[in-house]
Structures are given as C-alpha cells and as structure tokens.
Amino acid sequence: MVLVGCSDDVGKVSLGLFTTKDVVINAKQDPIVTGVTCHISHVEADLDFSDPSDMSIACRQTGEISAQALAKIDRSKNGEVVFKESKSILFKSLKVRRIYDAENKTLIYLSYSTKESSGSHHHSLSTVPLYNTKAWQWALAQEVKN
C-alpha cells in the first residue's frame, strides 16, 4: 500500500541550526491489522535529492487485533509490504513489511531502505505479540491444523 500525499507526521525535530535535515516521526496504522500502529522515524533532507537510509520503527497494539484480520494477512516467510514511501528521485524507498511468526504468535514489522539499482540496506525491527488479544485463540487453532 502506498500512502502518497497523506501526512501522518506526529513529530519533527531539527538536527541543528546549520542543517536542512530533520528527524520526522510518522504514525502508520496497519491497513489490514488495524489494531496495530507503527511509529517510524527517519531523516528528511529538504535540499538533497536523496534522504538518508537510516530509520527506526516501533509498532504497538493500539486497538483490537481480530482473528478476521489475521486470516487476511500473508502468512508466508516473506510476509507483505504494508507501507512504502519514496526517499529519493533515484528509486530509493522506505518499506515496512509485515511477517507473521506463527511459532511465537507474533506480528513482526521490518522497516528497510532500498535503492533499486544498488546501495546500502538499513533496517529496523519491531514486534507485536498476539497474547491477550482476540486473535490469540485463532493463532492457537492454526497451530493445531498444521
């Protein structure tokens, strides 16, 4: 899912008086598992053609996580991209991928930077355990089926 033109900024901190770089904090709700919100911080450089690749992510349960939502997600080892944001005019992007860890009944959110031709691949990870959610019983039932 690409969220272009949506301002999800919840914070912006200047990196100094003599720089045009800021740390921007975005809040993104998982489009399928809507009970999860991820806060992503990254550097935004107003006068550069390419923003730096470093980022950090923290995802938390902010609402109900339902069995119906979990039944809709990609449960493969690769998971699925849930957020994507362009970081330059030269094919670099920040992506967040959701991966389901069935053994530990946990949602994993991996943020990473890509440059489609070549470049450094920085990443950060956050997890949201399903314990004590309505989806917990669904996750246990999936274990029995396999």
Q: What is the pLDDT of residues 63-107, one digit of tens each?
A: 999 999 999 999 999 999 999 887 665 666 788 999 999 999 999
First to last CA, the chain: 30
Exposed (0-12), middle (13-18) or buried (19+): which is 49, by Cβ within 10 Å?
exposed
HSE value, Cβ hemisphere, 13 Å, CA-based, for 124: 16
Q: Regarding predicted confidence, which is higher, 127 or 87?
A: 127
- For 53-103, the DSSP string reads S-EEEEEEE-S---HHHHHHS--STT-EEEEEEE-BSSSEEEEEEEEEETT
Q: Which residues neighbour 51 within 8 Å (Cβ) at sequence distance 6 or greater?
A: 42, 43, 44, 45, 87, 88, 92
What pLDDT shows up at residue 7? 56
Q: Regarding predicted confidence, which is higher, 109 or 50?
A: 109
What is the pLDDT confidence band of residue 33, given thresholds at 50, 70 and 90?
A: very high
Element spanning 137, H or E: helix 135-145
Phi-psi map region of 60: left, alpha, beta (phi>0 left; psi -120 to 50 alpha): beta
Average pLDDT over residues 97-123: 83
Q: What is the mean pLDDT of the chain?
A: 82
DSSP label at residue 4: -
- What pTM value is reported for the model? 0.81
Residues in the chain: 146
